[in-house]
Structure 1
Amino acid sequence: MEKRSQQDEEVAQKSEVVHEEPAPISIVKGVLLTTCCTLSLAMMSMTASAVAISLPSAGKELSIPEDQLQWLLSAYALSSGCLLIPFGRLADLYGRRNVFVIGCLVQGAFSLGSGFSNDLVTIAVLRGIQGLGGAATVPACLGILAHAFPPGHARSLAFATFSAGQPIGGAVGFLLGGTLTEFAPTTWRTMYWVISGISALCILMAFLYVERDGPSTEVDKRVDWIGAFLVTTGLVLIVFVLSDGEIAPQQWRTPYIIALIIIGVACIALFLLWQWHLERPEVRETYSIWTPPPLMKLSLWTRGKGKFAAVQIVVFTLFAGFQSWILWIVLYYQNYQGYNPIQTMIRMIPMFPSGVICNIIIALIVAHVDGMLIIALGCICTAIAGILLALINTSAPYWAFGFPSAIIVVIGADFVFAGGTLFVAKLALPHEQSVAGGLYQTMAMLGQAFGLAISTIVFDRVRSTESSKLGVTIDKLGLNAPREAQLKAYRATSWTMVGFSLFAALLAVIFLRGVGILGGAHPKPDAEATSEDSATEKVGEEPGSETSRTRA
C-alpha cells in the first residue's frame, strides 16, 4: 500500500469543513418535502399489507402452493431489509435525492411488472428487485429530513409525520388491497399498478420539492464494496434462516439451515472485523484499493456514551415483540375464531388511527419530555397489549380484549420508531445520516425476523406438547390440533411478546438514562458525536505534519 500523494493531501486540507446544522426552510417547502418522504414510506407499508391480503387470490389464480405463497412477501423483505446500510452509504456519498429517485423508479417499474406476472418464479424475482428500491428509499428519506431540518420542533414534527406513514400505508394497503382484490376486474394485480402510480408521484414531488444535495464533503468517496458484500450476504442468510428454520423439512436440524446460519453469522463477524480494520488510524494513513472508508464505522456504536448502541438494541427487541403480535393475532382471528380475511381486517383497523394519533402526540411532547420516558413508556404499552391477548376470554366481545390491544400495541412501535429515529439523527454527523438511518431500520427488520422465529418455535412446541397431553398426534400443518392446545399455544406466543417488550423497556430505563430531550434545539448528543468523530477522523497526514485531514 502506498502513502497518499501530495496532491491527495492538498485536496484533503482544502476539504476541511465545519459541521454546521442545516439552515431553516420555509413552512410550505418543509410540508411538501415531508409529504414526499412520508408518502414513500406509506407506499412501502402499503405494498406489504396489500400483497399480504391478496395472497389467497394470487395463489389461486397462479396455482401457487400455500406453503410457497410466503415468497411474494419474503422476496421483497429480504432485499429491502438487508441492503439498507449499503444504500445508506451510497445516499450519503452520491446524493440523497438521487438515490431516493432511483429507489422510487425501481419500486414503480418492478411493481408494474409484478402485476403482469403469471408464475411464482417471475413474480418473486420481480418482487425481490422491487425491494432494492425500498432499501434505497428509506435511508435516503431519513437523510433528506435530517439534512433539511435543523434540530428543534420542525425536525421533531417532520420525523413524527414521516413515522405516521407506516400505519397510514398499512391501513390503506389493507383496505384498498382488499377492496380491489374483491371487486376490480384485474383483482390482485390492480394494487401492484397502484403502487407503480404512487412511485411516479413520489418521483415528481422529489424533483419539485427536494433540494439537490450539495457535493459530498468527504475527501475519500470510495465505497467499501467488500463490507457491503459481507453485511448483505450475512443479513440475507440470517433473515432467511429465521424465516424458514421452523418450517424446514427437519426444522432447525435441517442441514442447509445449519449451514446457512453458520455462514451468515461468519459473514457478519467478518464484516465487523473488516470495519474495525478499515477504521484503524494506521490503515487510514494509507491509500489503496484495500483501504476504502469503512461502510459503517464501529465507533458510531459508542456515540452518546454508548446510547447509540442501546437504542439499536431497544428497537431490535421491541419490534421482535410488536411483529409477533401482528402475526399471531391475525392467525388467532382466522384459524381459531374462524373469521374470514375481511372480518380480520376490520378488527385490525383501530391500529392505524391510533398510530397516527401517537405520532401527533410525539410531535407535541418530544421537545418537552425526556426521551428515555417516551421510549420506555412505548415499550410498556406494547407489553400491555400482549398481556391483553395472553389473557383473552375467547367468549368475550371484541371490545373487551381485541380492541384495546389493537389501540395500545402501536404506541410502542410508534414511540420507539419516532423517538429512536430522532436520537440517531442527532448522534450522526451530516455525512452519516443515511447510513445511521439505514442501520436503525436494519435493526428493526432483524428484530421482526427474530421475534417471528422465536414466537413460531414457542407456538409449535406448546401446541405439540399440549396435544400430546390430550392424546392427539398433530399432523405436519397442525390443523388437527385440539382447540385447547391451540389456545394455549396462542397464549404462549403472547407471553413471549410480552417478554420482548418488557425487556426492551428495561433496557431503555437502564441504558438510555440521561438521553434528555430528543426534540431540543441544541442537543447534547450532537455535540458529543461531533467531538468524538473529530477526534477519530484527523487522519491522512504525513508523519510530522502539522496539518490533518478532517472528514466532513
Structure 2
Amino acid sequence: MPLWQTILVITSCSFAMLTTTASNSAVSIALPTMEDDLEIPQAALDWVVAANPLSNGCLLLLFGRLADLYGRKKVFLLGSFWLVAFTLGCSFAQDALTLDILRGFQGLGSAATIPASLGILAHTFPPGKARAIAFATFAAGAPLGGGTGIVFGGLLTQLTPQSWRSPFYLVSGLTVLSMITAMISFNPDHPSTEEDQRVDWIGAFLVTTGLVLIVFVLGQGEVAPKQWSTPYIIALLIVGVIFVLLFLIWQYHLERVQNTTDSNPYPIFYVVSLSLFALHHLPTPPPIMKMTLWTRARGRVAVVFCIACLNWCCFQGWNYWAILYYQNYVGYSPLRTTVRMVPMFVTGLLCNGFVALFVDHIPMTILVAAGTALTGCSALLFAVIDPNAVYWAFGFPSAIIAVIGADFVFACGTMYVAKKCSPHEQSVGGAVFQTMTQLGTALGVTVSTVVFDRVLESRAADNGIDVSDIGSSGPRWLTLPAYKAAMWSCFAFGMCACLLTVIFLRVGIIGHRVRPSRSPTLTEEVEGQKTVTNSARQSAEKGQIER
C-alpha cells in the first residue's frame, strides 16, 4: 500500500472516532444554551446527552456483524452518510423532543462507523509497527475529539449567531471529510469467507432490546419519581437482564449447532433449552457474537473486556464530576472550565504516540496496569481536593494523568482483541470492546451519582436544609463532601481495573518485534567458503569412485 493511502486510511478511521466524541462533548458544553433557547426542562436535559450514546452502544454488535458479513467499507460509508444527515438535522431542531429523536438516530451512524473502522484497521495492517501506529492513532481520536468538541463547541456556541447549532455544522463537515477520504483510500470489500452468511436477527433483537433497557434504567434510575424504587425502573431492569441472558443462551446454542454435526451433543443443555424455547423450530444462523470469544487466550480476552468496562467507569465518571465541580461548585464559565481540561487532551495525544512507539518493547500488562492506576489516582486527587488550593496543586496533575488509562487500555485492548479474532470477525471483536466501554460509561456515572445524592441528602438532613435549596438559596459548601464521595467511587473503579490487570492479565508484548538482520563476520564468511569448497571436493571424489 502506498504511503499516501496508508495515511488516508488511518485518518479516515480516526476521524470516525473523533466525530463521535466531538458530537457528544460539544452537546455537553452547549447544554445551558440549549436549555434557554428551546426551553427544555432541567429534568429533560439528560436525554439530549444520552440519546446518542444509548442508540450507539446498543447497536454496535449488530453493525459489527453486518460489517464483517457484507463489507466494512460499505457499512462505513453508509454510516457516515447517515451521520451527516442526522447531525445536520439536529441543527434545525425547534423543540426538545425533535432534538432527542434526531440525536438517537444520529447514534446509529456512529454504531456503524466505529466497528467498521476497527475491522478495516485490523484487516489492512498485519501485526507490526504499522498496526501499532494505526490503532494508537485511532485511539487518539477520542481525546482529540473530546477536546475539539469542548473547545470549538464552546467557542462556536458563544461567538456565532447560530449559537448551539454551529457545533453540529462542524461535526457534519468533519464527517464529510472522513467519508471522502474513505472513498479514495479504502480497498474494495472482499466477499466474506463464511459458508453460512445469514444474519442472526433473533440475537440482534435480544441484545439490542436488553442493552437499551439496561442503559435506560442506569440513566433514569436517579431521576425517576421514586428513584430506584420506582416500579417501572425495577420492571425494566429485570426485563433487560432477562433479555441479555436469553441472548447469551441463544448465542451458545447457535455456536454449538454451527460447530457440530451431532443433533444432540449436549443433552442437559438441550433438555433445559427445548423445554423453554423450542429451539429446534428456530433458524440456526451463525451467532452474532461467539461465546468462545470471551474464553480465548485462556480467558484473557474476557479480562480485557472487563478492564475496559471498569476503566471507563473511572475515567468517564471523573470527567463528568470534574466538569460539574468546576461549573457548579467553583462557579467557572464553560470556557474557563475548558481551559482547565485542555491538559487532558494534550496528554491523550502524547500517550497514543507513546503506545505506537513502545508497544513492541513494553509488555501489555505493564502498560495497562500503569494506565489504570494513574486514571484511578486522578479521581483520588479530586477526592481529597482543597477548594482553596491553586489549580496546579490538584486540578492540573489530575487532568494530566486522567486520560492515560483510557488511551493505554483502548489502544492495547483493541490491538489484543484484533490479534485473537479471526479475519471474518474483526469488526465484531471491536464492537464487543466498544460496547463494554459504553456500558462502563453508563455504570460509572450512575454509581457515582447514587453516591453523590446519598451523601448530599445525608449532609442536608444533618444541617436541617432542604436538598432542593442547595446551590441556589442554600449553602453550596454542603456539596463538597458529595463531590468527593463521587470521586472516591470513581477511584474504586480504577483500582479494581488495576488489580484485575495485575492478577489475571498475564500478557507480554503484543506488538510485532522485528529482529534486525546481522551481517556475517569475516571469520563466518571464511568458514562458509571452506564448507562449500569441502562439499564440492567430496562430491567430485564420490563421482570418480562411482565411475
TM-score by structure 2 length?
A: 0.88
Distance of aligned partners of 1:36 and 1:259 in 2 relative to their CA distance in 1, 3 Å threshold: same
Q: Which residue of 2 aligns with 1:60?
A: 36
CA distance in 2, matches of 1:99, 1:380: 37
CA distance in 1, matches of 2:89, 2:471: 36
Deviations 1:416-453 (Å, cap 9, x if unpaired)? 11111111110111011000000000001001100111
Q: CA deviation at 1:283?
A: 7.6
CA distance in 2, matches of 1:492, 1:481: 20
Q: CA deviation at 1:484?
A: 4.2
**Is 1:336–1:486's contact at 8 Å kept on the other side of the alignment?**
yes
Deviations 1:9-59 (Å, cap 9, x if unpaired)? xxxxxxxxxxxxxxxx33332111101111111011110111111112122
Q: What is the 5 A alignment of 1:103-502?
A: 103-281=79-257, 285=261, 290-475=283-468, 479=472, 482-502=475-495
2:508 aligned with 1:516, yes or no? yes
Percent identity over paired residues: 51
Q: Which has the higher helix share?
A: 2
Deviations 1:357-401 (Å, cap 9, x if unpaired)? 010111111001110111010000011111111111110111111
CA distance in 1, matches of 2:352, 2:159: 33
Q: Which residue of 2 aligns with 1:538?
A: none
Q: Which residue of 2 aligns with 1:533?
A: none
Deviations 1:37-86 (Å, cap 9, x if unpaired)? 11111011110111111112122111111221221211111111110011
CA distance in 1, matches of 2:135, 2:332: 36
Residue type of the alignment partner of 2:357: L
CA distance in 2, matches of 1:115, 1:170: 19
Please tell me the root mean square deviation across aligned C-alpha atoms, in Å. Answer: 1.6
Residue type of the alignment partner of 2:228: W
| Aligned residue among 40, 54, 58 for 1:82 | 58
**Is 1:467–1:482's contact at 8 Å kept on the other side of the alignment?**
no
CA distance in 2, matches of 1:478, 1:238: 31
The count of residues paired between Structure 1 and Structure 2 equals: 497
CA distance in 2, matches of 1:261, 1:281: 30
**Is 1:278–1:284's contact at 8 Å kept on the other side of the alignment?**
no
**Is 1:462–1:485's contact at 8 Å kept on the other side of the alignment?**
no
**Is 2:210–2:240's contact at 8 Å kept on the other side of the alignment?**
yes
**Is 1:467–1:481's contact at 8 Å kept on the other side of the alignment?**
no
CA distance in 2, matches of 1:337, 1:282: 59
Residue type of the alignment partner of 1:113: G
| Rg (Cα) greater in structure | 2
CA distance in 1, matches of 2:58, 2:89: 22
Gapped regions of structure 1 (runs ≥ 5): 1-24, 523-552
Gapped regions of structure 2 (runs ≥ 5): 264-279, 515-547
CA distance in 2, matches of 1:201, 1:388: 39
Deviations 1:220-263 (Å, cap 9, x if unpaired)? 11100000000001001101100110111100000110011011
**Is 2:129–2:511's contact at 8 Å kept on the other side of the alignment?**
yes
| SS class of match (2:467) | coil
Residue type of the alignment partner of 1:520: H
| SS class of match (1:246) | coil
Distance of aligned partners of 1:462 and 1:481 in 2 relative to their CA distance in 1, 3 Å threshold: farther
| SS class of match (2:163) | coil
Q: CA deviation at 1:483?
A: 3.8
**Is 1:276–1:297's contact at 8 Å kept on the other side of the alignment?**
yes
Residue type of the alignment partner of 1:125: I
CA distance in 1, matches of 2:469, 2:303: 40
| SS class of match (2:198) | coil
CA distance in 2, matches of 1:483, 1:117: 35
Q: CA deviation at 1:273?
A: 0.5
**Is 2:361–2:513's contact at 8 Å kept on the other side of the alignment?**
no
CA distance in 2, matches of 1:309, 1:499: 20
CA distance in 2, matches of 1:90, 1:452: 30
**Is 2:11–2:178's contact at 8 Å kept on the other side of the alignment?**
no
Q: CA deviation at 1:322?
A: 0.7
Q: Which residue of 2 aligns with 1:543?
A: none
CA distance in 1, matches of 2:317, 2:118: 26
CA distance in 1, matches of 2:148, 2:197: 40
TM-score by structure 1 length?
A: 0.88
Distance of aligned partners of 1:142 and 1:222 in 2 relative to their CA distance in 1, 3 Å threshold: same
Q: Which residue of 2 aligns with 1:532?
A: none
Deviations 1:479-538 (Å, cap 9, x if unpaired)? 56644431111111111111100110000111111x11111259xxxxxxxxxxxxxxxx
CA distance in 1, matches of 2:78, 2:184: 15
CA distance in 1, matches of 2:258, 2:348: 48
Residue type of the alignment partner of 1:207: M
**Is 1:474–1:480's contact at 8 Å kept on the other side of the alignment?**
no
